[in-house]
Amino acid sequence: MTRKTVTIKNRAGIHARPAALIAQTANRYASEIVIERDDTRINAKSIMGIITMAASYNTQLTLCAEGTDEAEAIAALESLFENKFEEE
C-alpha cells in the first residue's frame, strides 16, 4: 500500500469541481484508492463521497492506494493537490 499525506492549498477547499477532478483521476487507475480524514475513509472514485468530507483550506488528507498502479495513482492525485486543482 502506498500512502501520502496532502494538504488542501486552494482557498475554496474541495467543492464540486475539485471533487470531480479527484474522482476522474482516481478512476483512471486499477488500484483501490481511498482518502482518509481523521477516522473517515472515502472512496476516491466517488464524487459524492469526496464532497461529503467537507474538506476546507489547509485540511490534511491521507491518500491511500493499493494495487498494481498504486504509486502512479498517488503521484497523479498528489499533483492535483499541489497545483491547487488549477484554480488559482
Enumerate the active-site residues.
15
Q: Where are the beta strands (DSSP E) in 1-88?
A: 2-7, 32-37, 40-43, 60-66
84: which DSSP letter? Answer: G
> CA-CA distance, 49 to 2, in Å (whole number)?
21
25, 31, 35, 41 alpha-carbon torsion, rounded to 10°: 140
